[in-house]
């Protein structure tokens, strides 16, 4: 029986796929390609956003897309989209109405209507500029201690980095809220799928040395785990188990690394609690002495983008920031 020509050529498919993947890995070592894949800043979400008229998105009329009402929050969000993205606007409204917080949401360089190209150092400088603006704008005594730093997705790396930078200057914000965080981009690359489909370094898990080699070319590591060790403020981790962008295990790693210095010889950790809520998730917390609480919500629902504005998570933000 004759074999169909397509079947004869089928054995080339694995070789072609391997070659394409190899080419993709080589491209990952190029700085400009890395920048595009990590920051995704050229993906305009939403399309044709009108930053001059925030009232179209349900926000108060303001020329800089922020509503200055009361001194409290500074939201830093980044990765694939701008400050007009629907899930982010919903978070702003929730923080403002439910927590009675002022929200300053910025687009880093290269996002939205901001010029330039993003880099780890660059977006940290932008975040620090936003922090300095908030604290100088209010004119309130000890304003730096009243700011809540909020980041979502890749923005959690920025908030963690900013928190570490402020700690080295003996500045302690009111709290850090990390929504769908990661331990570091270096570690995230082993499990991350671009556009939820294309694996990056995951296929090389059986060859650790090869993984390590390609990770050595990373120019924007965003090491949140290391940065958070310096932070002297309360920390809240919000992560859903059905997050298909950043695995929820990254929050477990961050929680464990923050708790590790307080685990001594089998003694109980100060203030450690674990409570399960049927249909909602598990809340774990412990006390870091004068540094305040670390709280981790391991949610059942919420995916990657629907966490920061929900009622239960807003209650946790109020708790960690002392707004109750």
- Is 94 inside any structural domain? yes
pLDDT for 78 equals 38
pLDDT for 52 equals 57
- Is 282 inside any structural domain? yes
pLDDT for 75 equals 47
Question: pLDDT tens across 270-313, in order?
Answer: 789 999 999 999 999 999 989 999 999 999 999 998 988 888 99
- Is 141 inside any structural domain? yes
pLDDT for 64 equals 55
Paired strand residues for 148: 73, 175
For the chain, residues with pLDDT lower than 70 are 1-11, 17, 41-42, 44-84, 194-199, 201-206, 265-267
pLDDT for 29 equals 77
pLDDT for 209 equals 81
- Is 79 inside any structural domain? yes
Kindly give, in sequence order, each residue whose CB lies less than 8 Å from that of residue 223, ignoring residues fewer than 6 positions away: 184, 185, 186
Strand pairing report for 293-299 and 103-106: unpaired
CATH code for the domain in which residue 148 is found: 3.40.50.1820
Strand pairing report for 198-199 and 281-287: unpaired
With CA atoms as reference, report the closest residue to 124 among 101, 91, 149, 89: 149
Domain that holds residue 136: 40-184+222-320
- Is 32 inside any structural domain? no
- Is 165 inside any structural domain? yes
- Is 200 inside any structural domain? no
Burial of 58 (0-12, 13-18, 19+ CB in 10 A): exposed
pTM of the predicted structure, to 2 decimals: 0.84
- Is 162 inside any structural domain? yes
Q: Is 292 left (phi over 0), alpha (psi -120 to 50) or beta?
A: left
Q: How many domains does the chain have?
A: 1
């Amino acid at each position: 029986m004759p074999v169909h020509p397509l079947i004869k050529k089928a054995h080339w498919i694995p070789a072609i796929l391997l070659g394409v993947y190899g080419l993709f890995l080589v491209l990952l070592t190029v700085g400009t390609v890395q920048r595009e894949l990590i920051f995704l800043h050229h993906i305009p979400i939403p399309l044709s956003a009108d930053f001059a008229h925030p009232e179209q998105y349900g926000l108060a009329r303001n020329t800089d897309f922020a509503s200055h009402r009361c001194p409290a929050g500074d939201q830093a969000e980044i990765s694939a989209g701008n400050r007009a993205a629907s899930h982010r606007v919903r978070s702003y409204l929730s923080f403002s109405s439910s927590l009675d917080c002022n929200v300053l949401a910025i687009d880093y360089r290269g996002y939205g209507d901001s010029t330039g190209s993003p880099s780890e150092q660059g977006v940290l400088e932008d975040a620090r500029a936003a922090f300095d603006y908030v604290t100088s704008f209010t004119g309130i005594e000890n304003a730096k201690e009243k700011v809540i730093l909020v980041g979502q997705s890749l923005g959690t790396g920025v908030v963690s980095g900013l928190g570490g930078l402020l700690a080295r200057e003996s500045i302690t914000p009111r709290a850090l809220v990390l929504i769908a965080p990661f331990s570091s981009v270096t570690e995230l690359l082993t499990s991350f799928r671009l556009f939820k489909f294309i694996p990056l370094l995951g296929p090389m898990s059986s060859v650790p040395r090869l993984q390590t080699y390609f990770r050595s070319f990373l120019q924007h590591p965003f090491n949140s785990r290391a940065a958070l060790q310096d932070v002297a403020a309360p920390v809240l981790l919000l992560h859903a188990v059905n997050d298909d962008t950043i695995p929820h295990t990254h929050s477990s790693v961050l929680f464990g690394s923050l708790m590790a210095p307080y685990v001594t010889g089998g003694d109980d950790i100060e203030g450690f609690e674990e409570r399960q809520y049927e249909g909602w998730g598990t809340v774990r917390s412990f006390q870091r002495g004068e540094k305040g609480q670390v709280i981790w919500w391991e949610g059942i629902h919420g995916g990657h983008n629907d966490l920061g504005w929900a009622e239960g998570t807003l209650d946790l933000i109020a708790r960690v920031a002392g707004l109750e």
